[in-house]
């Protein structure tokens, strides 16, 4: 690469050399007259040639230095005056002149901008900073001189001392030989500018000039200009000398300081004022460029010299330059100037008392005095004391500056206060600073207004306690914001308002709402004194509604009405009371932003009463936000329905903030109802116009998100009617979603609305499939069912568009037909797709394998009869919309969509920078692992291994939630994959996309063509799956529980929740693998996995105690697999030996846990990976009871089972319905496991033991469902006890155990068993009136079915028990049996009627379809 660049540079320099020879042969313009066009072309060529050489390193064209120096020196000395000098001089010295400041500078730039630029078209399109401003566009000959000066400086530094001396001599001689003063002045300026660049380059590189002759020549050239009458040359020479001192060292510095001291000692009348001024500024430049530390030895002499020059009353020029130099010296010296602070302040005070300053005719001199004082404050900083003489003198000077009328002087007064706030906050007194700063907000000068706003913001940030008296300032600031034109000042005002709000809104939210409301509604100003009273005394009660006069106008009308009073800046009349004003649209938008910020600030404060009405009413002296909820909703509603277009989106966003903040707030007056239910009508009414056809697209997009937030809220319960109306707003545009258009807006706005609608519906549907969703989402899911096929088609179209825009090269994109955007907007809608992509991906993935996934597709076998009948009914309508919809539903095949979802999920998972998006994509992968597609021919091993590889990287993610979700995906993979997936007989290669898309979407894989691939890919896939499943176990279990936090960099809390869940998922995955793998493959991993499960049981204590159940599941599954006893491979024998070796360890660990651990705690846990939350514990106890019952040794079965029976008994009498149901199910499984053995076996006897011990407890649990007295009529006690689904589960399990006990009982004990069972079942019955609840009805149905079964199978025992029942039991049972038998008879009659109707219909069809007699064929031709 270096050789290629060198070769390229050599060719480039060669071409430049040719052009240089051409330019050098140009005839002189003094001898030949050219046309203006020709002359301008020559200058343009010279300009570009010199600029090209200036862009290259001088070493590349060293052979052309002599020719270039001759050319650029001629151009520099013979051309016009350069324009570089204003850019080169230090910007802090602009007050010295000669260029104008403020408006004067703008006028000068405008005049220079209209100079002709010649034929150079580059000034029109170039993006370089030198052409960024209109003031930098110069004529061609001026630009030629500028680049010539720059190149001359570069070439001068690259020359030898001899050549440097010759160049200096040539330049001096040319200046002397100048014929006119104008030419000489131009030459001097250009040469001085070149010397400035030379000294600047040398000072940056810290390179000395060279021999003494060259240095002397440079000094002789620069030094005379110190006394020049031209201010620009004087400043340039002083700065050049300062940079020369930096590069040359102490010798030059000492000589220069000495010469200046001798100059100052001369009488003022003998020295020109410009020379004395230049001498003062030179001393300052030495301090600036040499540095305060390096020039510390010259600081006393410098300060004394500047003091003398500052007192020169004969020349204002000398005094001002000396004061400016003194300011620079103070800034560069820092704390080293502390010993000179007092004399300097005394000097400033004495100067203020002179006749010159008292007269007030020199505002610039006053401003210089203020800068000196400000520099002292900045240098001393924290060293200033509030009552020190230095601080007293500073305040006195500042007082004089405040009283001055000139804006520059007042600006320095504001700067003084700003420096006090920044560097000496201890001495700041807000009550003394605040009035002056507020008064400057009404100044006609933008500089003062901007400085005052900035200073106020710093004051508020430094002294938060000063906010108490600044609330009325907000109204003034809103008025300023409405009138100011400067963009930077706009931002500063907004920063100040938000800073005030952040500091005070937490304690006075009502005042801020009142201020913002006055702006949004354009109402009259409130009495500022009333606002001050509100801030000084907190509100005890909510304020009454303001009866403001609303003056709502259009934005353009507002601008026209308010343009008249803006020429002089802020008008002072706006702050008066009771003056009606109308704000601009953007001011109202910012006011609504402030309302949103008030809510955010109140949420961040520790005051809970802001969002709790009960606490707010108890806190009588506290101003809380919840008491102003009606104002909040009203403001958001008015803004959301405003006639001002820009105000509607922010009003809808405010509604979203209100819903999120106040949704948990309950109404204490109406228990069980949310406080926002009172404002349901306002919220829905504000959102409804956003979905109108003529609504703004931005408003519709915002309303979609707000609507979803409003619905998907677990604290608010909406009625079905309200939900139907809300969902109609989102679902109704789906029919014509692809034909949506906004003619008045950009095409990307259509994409914005389309993706917003699809994203909102995707979020709702995904929330409905997620665990723990709100009740509202449960009601909404049925409303979405009919639209799911259309949603699926649109979701997939959006995902395909996203894939083509973000993941495909240009050629396929050009061939692809986009759906939701156009080619012209493809680069502008990336953010829209990025926001909606994760939600749409998750929702579309959740449809895989469901009826909606296949509905509407051509050749789909998942279309049910109801859908077919519905389609037949609608077939005759034949609308164009229906045709388009049917086409969109069948435009892709299910397999194609599946691979699109899979590819997008894997691509998104490779970018792990956004944890939330990664989690959503992981859930999408989990949905994609549906059993319909986890078959060898639909999901080949190669693709599955790619998925496993991507997910394995996520197991090392920093977020533990991501790692846990990844483990869940692997559990779903091994749970849903087909049993023959890892079998050698059914491995397949991936089918081609053509065959996949053309084949029928049938789920059966028996008809697919199967080929025999290499088993190497299958083995690698299996190895990857097992490695990922075992990885968290090795990481946590093999290091011990006490090291989990250190190993994974998590705390103990994480180790007891997310980490425990992750280990449980891994152990469950291992248990699934035991039944999934074929024997040869299972034997290969048996030893490692058995050891992992055993290790889990040993460490099942402390925070890892819940892992015991999962470890027992895995251990039992692997130990009981057929390959453990039938496989003849050596690894099988190793597994048996390993199991025998750890048998004692296992029982010891189990016994330890049983003696120390409370199983009821495990029963209350929720398993997020299974529909049955109690399955882990049940399986663990079943394994404990049935797997190790025949072992011998020190541990006996009675020790274990007695402990289990005791824990289960405690659980059955507990208060938790979930615990009771889990315990009953555990007993049922244990009894069922033992009942399958012979009566003489130990397992059968163990089951009988559990029946004897647990049967009475289960019967008593059923009796507890009785909510009436057995000796009274149940009809007299209509109240029913509250039951839950857990109670139903318990009843079902208990009944199963008691029925099983009756079946296992001997003939002599069956009657006794029925005497317990039948009364227990009667306790579950309920009378027909009053109507029982759904849960009671479910219990009643279960009990009556079992009673009928017992009465049929054991009639003798049933008849003998009936007389022994209490009268109320007997009457309830008889009435229930009659009702059940009557219901059976009615059902049989209805079934018979339906059968007869069906037979009749079939007979009619047969008669109708019977062959008709052939028509007669008569020939009437003969009658013709």
- Residue 909 — very low, low, confident or very high, per pLDDT cuts 50/70/90? confident
Total residue count of the chain as it appears in this document: 1424
Closest by Cα among 1037, 1030, 1057, 1043 to 1099:
1037
- pLDDT tens for 980-1021 read 777 655 444 444 433 333 333 332 333 333 334 457 777 788
- Cα 142 from Cα 145, distance rounded (Å): 5
Nearest CA to 473 out of 511, 523, 426, 506 is that of: 511
- Sole residue written with tokens 């996309």: 993
Q: At what angle are helices 509-520 and 528-536 packed, to 10 degrees?
A: 160
Separation between Cα atoms, residue 1264 and residue 680, nearest integer Å: 42
What Å distances lie between residue 30 and 26, 144, 395, 608, 1030, CA to CA? 12, 18, 64, 88, 91
Per residue in 274-312, pLDDT (tens digit) is: 999 999 999 999 999 998 777 888 899 999 999 999 998
Taking 60 as the threshold, does the pLDDT of residue 1187 lie above it? Answer: no
> CA distances (Å), 1270 to each of 190, 628, 1366, 1368, in order?
117, 56, 7, 6
Is-contact 991 979, C-beta < 8 A? no
Poorest-pLDDT segment among 414-418, 603-607, 650-654, 1102-1106:
1102-1106
pLDDT digits 0-9 by tens, 143-179: 899 999 999 999 999 999 899 999 999 999 999 998 8
Confidence of residue 1104 (pLDDT cuts 50, 70, 90): low
The set of long-range contacts for 1033-1040, using a CB threshold of 8 Å and a minimum separation of 24, is 1033/1063, 1033/1066, 1033/1067, 1033/1092, 1033/1095, 1033/1096, 1034/1092, 1036/1062, 1036/1063, 1037/1063, 1037/1092, 1037/1095, 1037/1096, 1037/1099, 1037/1104, 1038/1095, 1040/1099
Distance (Å, rounded) from C-alpha 1344 to C-alpha 1362?
Answer: 15
Q: Give the per-residue pLDDT at 1203.
A: 67
Window from 137-151, 215-229, 644-658, 1286-1300 with minimum mean pLDDT: 1286-1300
Q: Most confidently modeled of 622-636, 713-727, 989-1003?
A: 622-636
Cβ contact 1209:1164 at 8 Å: no
Tell me how far apart the alpha carbons of residues 561 and 576 are, in angstroms, rounded to a whole number: 19
Q: Which two tokens stand for residue 1104?
A: 């890892």
What is the C-alpha to C-alpha distance for residues 1103 and 1044, in angstroms, rounded to an integer? 10
Judged against a pLDDT cut of 80, whether residue 696 lies above it is answered with yes
Prior bond of 1236 cis (ω within 30°): no
For the beta carbon of residue 1193, count every other beta carbon within 10 angstroms: 9
Tokens of 307: 């003091």
More confident residue, 572 or 906: 906
| Under 8 Å between Cβ of 841 and 921 | yes
- The pTM score is 0.68
Compute the half-sphere exposure of residue 1374: CA atoms within 13 Å on the CB side of its CA: 10
**Is the backbone peptide bond immediately before 729 cis, with ω within 30 degrees of 0?**
no
- State how far the Cα of 377 lies from the Cα of 421, in Å rounded to an integer: 10
Q: Poorest-confidence range of 78-82, 289-293, 1194-1198?
A: 1194-1198
pLDDT of residue 864: 43
Quick: pLDDT tens for 792-840.
Answer: 999 999 998 888 877 665 555 566 778 888 877 877 888 888 888 888 9
Q: Report the candidate in 628, 595, 630 with the shortest Cα–Cα distance to residue 610.
A: 628
pLDDT bracket for residue 1401 (50, 70, 90): low
| CB atoms closer than 10 angstroms to residue 610 | 25
Phi and psi, residue 209, nearest 5°: -65, -45
Q: What is the pLDDT of residue 1081?
A: 66
Give CA–CA dist 242/228, Å, rounded.
17
Residue 415 in contact with residue 367, Cβ under 8 Å?
no
Q: What does the block give as tokens for 32? A: 């030949």
**Cα separation of 279 and 238, whole Å?**
8
The pLDDT tens digits of the residues spanning 848-869 come to: 888 888 888 765 544 444 444 4
- The two tokens of residue 795 are 């979701």
Residue 321: predicted pLDDT: 93
Q: What pLDDT is attached to residue 306?
A: 94
The residue-averaged pLDDT of 432-452 equals 90
DSSP string covering 296-353, please?
Answer: GGGHHHHHHHHHHHHT-TT-HHHHHHHHHHHHHHHHHHGGGGGGGHHHHHHHHHHHHT
pLDDT at 783: 85
For 344-400, write each residue's pLDDT tens digit. 999 998 888 776 665 445 678 888 889 999 999 998 888 888 888 888 889 888 988
Over the chain, what is the mean pLDDT? Answer: 75
Half-sphere exposure in the Cβ direction for 166 (13 Å, CA): 8
pLDDT at 239 over 80: yes
Between CA 209 and CA 215 the distance in angstroms is: 6
The pLDDT of residue 1309: 72
> What does the alpha-carbon distance between residue 489 and residue 485 come to, in Å, rounded to a whole number?
8
pLDDT tens profile 1123-1164: 433 443 444 444 455 444 444 444 554 555 455 444 544 444
More confident residue, 1060 or 61: 61
What is the rounded distance in angstroms from the CA atom of residue 273 to the CA atom of residue 277? 6
Residue keyed to tokens 């219990």: 1339
Q: What mean pLDDT is predicted for residues 419-439?
A: 88
Q: Cα 830 to the chain's mean position, in Å?
A: 16
Residues 196, 201, 204, 208, Cα dihedral to 10°:
-90
Taking alpha carbons only, the member of 270, 215, 263 closest to residue 241 is: 215
> What is the structure's pLDDT at 164?
92
Q: Tokens representing 485?
A: 């034109």
Average pLDDT over residues 939-957: 81
- Tens digits of per-residue pLDDT, 1068-1099? 777 777 667 766 666 666 666 666 666 666 55
106-110, 313-317, 934-938, 1411-1415: which has the minimum mean pLDDT?
1411-1415
CA pair distance 284, 332, nearest whole angstrom: 9
Per DSSP, the residues of 438-460 read: HHHTT-S-HHHHHHHHHHHHHHH
Instruction: Kindly state the average pLDDT of the residues 1378-1382.
Output: 79
Q: Locate 269 and state its tokens.
A: 């009348």
- Judge whether residue 1193 has pLDDT over 70: no
pLDDT score of 619:
84
CA separation for the pair 729, 783 (Å, rounded): 12
Does residue 1272 register a pLDDT over 70? Answer: no
- Phi, psi of 666, rounded to the nearest 5 degrees: -95, 150
Paired residues of 666 in beta bridges: 674
Distance, C-alpha 884 to centroid of its chain = 37
Q: 895 or 546: which carries more pLDDT confidence?
A: 895
Check: CB of residue 705 under 8 Å from CB of residue 756: yes
Tell me how far apart the alpha carbons of residues 1346 and 1352 are, in angstroms, rounded to a whole number: 10
Other Cβ atoms closer than 10 A to 133: 10
pLDDT of residue 551: 36
Written as six digits, the tokens of 605 are 């404060």
The pLDDT of 461-477, averaged and rounded, is 78
- For residue 1206, the model assigns a pLDDT of 74
More confident residue, 952 or 815: 952
């Amino acid at each position: 690469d270096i050789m290629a660049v060198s070769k390229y540079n050599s060719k480039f320099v060669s071409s430049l050399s040719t052009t240089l020879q051409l330019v050098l042969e140009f005839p002189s313009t003094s001898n030949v007259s050219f046309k203006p066009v020709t002359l301008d072309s020559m200058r343009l060529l010279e300009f570009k040639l010199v600029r090209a050489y200036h862009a290259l390193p001088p070493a590349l064209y060293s052979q052309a230095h002599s020719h270039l120096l001759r050319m650029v020196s001629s151009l520099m000395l013979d051309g016009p005056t350069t324009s570089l000098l204003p850019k080169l001089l230090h910007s802090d010295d602009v007050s010295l002149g000669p260029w104008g400041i403020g408006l004067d500078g703008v006028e000068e730039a405008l005049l220079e901008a209209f100079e002709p630029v010649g034929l150079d078209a580059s000034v029109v399109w170039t993006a370089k900073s030198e052409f960024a401003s209109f003031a930098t566009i110069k004529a061609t000959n001026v630009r030629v001189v500028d680049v010539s000066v720059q190149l001359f400086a570069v070439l001068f530094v690259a020359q030898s001392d001899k050549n440097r001396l010759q160049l200096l001599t040539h330049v001096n001689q040319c200046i002397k030989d100048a014929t006119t003063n104008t030419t000489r002045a131009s030459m001097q300026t250009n040469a001085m500018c070149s010397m400035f660049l030379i000294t600047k380059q040398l000072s940056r590189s810290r390179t000395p000039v060279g021999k003494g002759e060259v240095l002397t020549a440079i000094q002789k050239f620069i030094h005379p200009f110190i006394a020049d009458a031209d201010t620009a040359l004087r400043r340039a020479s002083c700065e050049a000398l300062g940079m020369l001192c930096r590069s040359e060292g102490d010798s030059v510095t000492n000589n220069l300081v000495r010469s200046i001291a001798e100059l100052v000692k001369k009488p003022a009348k003998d020295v020109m004022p410009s020379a004395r001024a230049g001498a003062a500024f030179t001393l300052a430049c030495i301090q600036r460029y040499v540095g305060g530390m390096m020039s510390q030895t010259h600081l006393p002499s410098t300060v004394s010299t500047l003091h003398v020059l500052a007192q020169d009353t004969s020349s204002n020029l000398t005094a001002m330059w000396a004061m400016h130099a003194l300011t620079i010296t103070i800034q560069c010296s820092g704390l080293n100037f502390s010993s000179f602070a007092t004399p300097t302040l005394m000097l400033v005070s004495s100067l203020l008392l002179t006749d010159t300053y008292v007269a007030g005719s020199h505002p610039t001199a006053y401003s210089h005095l203020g800068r000196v004082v400000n520099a002292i404050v900045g240098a001393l900083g924290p060293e200033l004391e509030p009552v020190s003489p230095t601080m007293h003198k500073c305040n006195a000077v500042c007082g004089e500056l405040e009283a001055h009328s000139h804006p520059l002087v007042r600006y320095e007064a504001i700067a003084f206060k700003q420096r006090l706030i920044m560097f000496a906050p201890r001495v700041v007194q807000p009550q003394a600073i605040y009035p002056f700063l507020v008064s400057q907000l009404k100044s006609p000068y933008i500089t003062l207004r901007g400085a005052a706003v900035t200073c106020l913001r710093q004051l508020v940030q430094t002294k938060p306690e000063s906010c108490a008296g600044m609330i009325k300032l907000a109204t003034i600031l809103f008025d300023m914001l409405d009138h100011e034109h400067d963009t930077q000042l706009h931002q500063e005002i907004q920063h100040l308002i938000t800073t005030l709000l952040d500091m005070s809104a937490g304690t006075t939210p009502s005042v801020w709402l009142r201020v913002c409301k006055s702006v949004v509604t354009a109402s009259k100003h409130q009495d500022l004194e009333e606002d001050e009273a509100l801030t000084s005394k907190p509100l005890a009660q909510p304020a009454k509604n303001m009866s403001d006069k609303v003056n709502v106008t259009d934005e353009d009308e507002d601008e026209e009405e308010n343009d008249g009073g803006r020429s002089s800046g802020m008008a002072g009349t706006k702050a008066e009371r009771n003056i009606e004003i109308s704000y601009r649209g953007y001011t109202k938008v910012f006011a609504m932003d402030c309302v949103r910020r008030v809510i955010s600030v109140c949420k961040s404060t520790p005051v809970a009463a802001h969002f709790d009405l009960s606490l707010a009413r108890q806190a009588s002296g506290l101003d809380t936000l919840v008491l102003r909820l009606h104002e909040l909703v009203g403001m958001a509603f008015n803004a959301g329905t405003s006639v001002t277009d820009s105000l509607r989106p922010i009003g809808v966003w405010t509604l979203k903030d209100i819903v999120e903040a106040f949704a948990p707030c309950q109404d204490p007056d109406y228990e069980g109802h949310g406080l926002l239910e009172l404002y349901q009508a306002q919220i829905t009414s504000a959102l409804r116009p956003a979905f109108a056809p003529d609504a703004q697209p931005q408003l519709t997009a915002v309303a979609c998100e707000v609507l979803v937030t409003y619905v998907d809220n677990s604290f608010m319960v909406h009625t079905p009617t309200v939900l139907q109306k809300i969902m109609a707003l989102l679902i109704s545009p789906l029919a014509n979603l692809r034909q949506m258009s906004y003619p008045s807006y950009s095409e990307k706005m259509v994409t914005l609305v389309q993706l917003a609608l699809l994203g909102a519906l995707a979020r709702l549907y995904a929330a409905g499939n997620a665990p723990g969703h709100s009740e509202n989402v449960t009601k909404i899911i049925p409303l979405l069912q009919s639209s799911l096929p259309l949603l699926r088609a649109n979701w997939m179209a959006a995902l395909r568009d996203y894939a083509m825009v973000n993941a495909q090269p240009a050629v396929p994109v050009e061939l692809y037909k986009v759906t939701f955007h156009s080619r012209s907007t493809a680069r502008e809608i990336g953010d829209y797709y990025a926001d909606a992509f994760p939600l749409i991906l998750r929702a579309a993935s959740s449809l895989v394998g469901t009826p909606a996934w296949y509905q509407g597709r051509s050749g789909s076998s998942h279309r049910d009869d109801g859908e077919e009948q519905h389609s037949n009914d609608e077939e005759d309508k034949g609308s164009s919309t229906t045709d388009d919809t049917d086409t969109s539903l069948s435009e892709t095949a299910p397999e194609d969509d599946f691979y699109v979802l899979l590819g997008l999920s894997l691509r998104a998972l490779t970018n792990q920078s956004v944890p939330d998006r990664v989690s959503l994509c992981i859930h999408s992968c989990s949905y994609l692992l549906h059993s319909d597609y986890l078959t060898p021919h639909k999901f080949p091993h190669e693709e599955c291994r790619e998925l496993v590889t991507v997910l394995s990287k996520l197991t090392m993610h920093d977020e533990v939630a991501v790692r846990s979700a990844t483990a869940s995906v692997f559990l779903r993979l091994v749970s849903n994959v087909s049993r023959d997936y890892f079998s050698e007989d059914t491995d397949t290669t991936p089918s081609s996309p053509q065959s996949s898309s053309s084949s029928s979407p049938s789920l059966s894989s028996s008809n697919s063509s199967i080929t025999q691939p290499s088993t190497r890919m299958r083995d690698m896939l299996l190895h990857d799956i097992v490695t990922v499943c075992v990885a968290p176990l090795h990481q946590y279990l093999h290091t011990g529980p006490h090291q989990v936090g250190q190993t994974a960099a998590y705390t103990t809390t994480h180790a007891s929740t997310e980490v425990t869940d992750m280990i449980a998922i891994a152990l469950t995955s291992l248990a699934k693998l035991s039944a999934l793998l074929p024997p040869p493959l299972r034997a290969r991993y048996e030893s490692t996995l058995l050891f992992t499960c055993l290790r889990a049981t040993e460490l099942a204590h402390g925070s890892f105690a819940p892992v015991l159940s999962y470890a027992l599941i895995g251990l039992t599954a692997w130990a009981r697999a057929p390959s453990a006893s039938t496989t003849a491979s050596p690894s099988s024998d190793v597994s048996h030996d390993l199991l025998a070796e750890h048998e004692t360890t296992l029982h010891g660990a189990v016994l330890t846990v049983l003696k120390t651990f409370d199983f009821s705690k495990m029963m209350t846990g929720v398993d997020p990976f299974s529909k049955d939350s109690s399955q882990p514990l049940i399986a663990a106890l079943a394994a404990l009871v049935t797997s190790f019952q025949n072992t011998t040794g020190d541990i006996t079965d009675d020790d274990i089972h007695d402990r289990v029976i005791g824990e289960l008994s405690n659980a059955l009498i507990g208060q938790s319905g979930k615990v009771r149901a889990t315990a009953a199910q555990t007993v049922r499984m244990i009894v069922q496991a033992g009942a399958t053995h012979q009566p003489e076996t130990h397992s059968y006897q163990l089951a009988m033991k559990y029946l004897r011990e647990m049967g009475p407890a289960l019967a008593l649990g059923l009796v507890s469902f009785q909510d009436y007295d057995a000796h009274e009529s149940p009809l007299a006690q209509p109240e029913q006890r509250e039951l839950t689904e857990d109670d139903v589960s318990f009843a079902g399990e208990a009944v199963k155990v008691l029925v099983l006990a009756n079946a296992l009982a001997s003939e002599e004990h069956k009657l006794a068993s029925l005497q317990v069972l039948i009364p227990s079942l009667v306790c579950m019955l309920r009378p027909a009136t009053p109507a029982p609840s759904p849960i009671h009805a479910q219990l009643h149905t279960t009990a009556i079915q079992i009673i009928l079964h017992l009465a049929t199978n054991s009639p003798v025992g049933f008849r003998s028990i009936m007389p022994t029942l209490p009268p109320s039991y007997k009457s309830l049972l008889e009435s229930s049996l009659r009702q059940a038998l009557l219901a059976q008879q009615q059902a049989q009659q209805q079934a018979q009627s339906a059968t007869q109707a069906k037979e009749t219909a079939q007979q009619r069809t047969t008669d109708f379809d019977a062959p008709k007699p052939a028509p007669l064929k008569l020939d009437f031709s003969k009658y013709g």
